[in-house]
Amino acid sequence: MKYTLNVAHLYGDLLNTYGDIGNLLVLEYYAKKMDVTLNTEIVSIGQPFDPQKFDLAFFGGGQDYEQMIVSRDIQEKKAALSTFIETDGPVLAICGGYQLLGKYYIGAQGERINGIGALPHYTESQDNHRFIGDIVIKNKETGQKYHGFENHNGITFLGQNERPLGDVLSGHGNNGKDKTEGAIYKNVFCSYFHGPILARNGELAKRLLLLALKRKYPTTDFSQQEHLQIKPTY
Q: What is 141-167 written as a DSSP string?
A: TT--EEEEEEEESEEEE--TT-B-SEE
Catalytically active residues, by annotation: 95, 194
Question: 110, 125 in Cβ contact below 8 A?
Answer: yes
Which positions make up the binding site for substrate? 130
What is the C-alpha to C-alpha distance for residues 151 and 153, in angstroms, rounded to an integer? 7
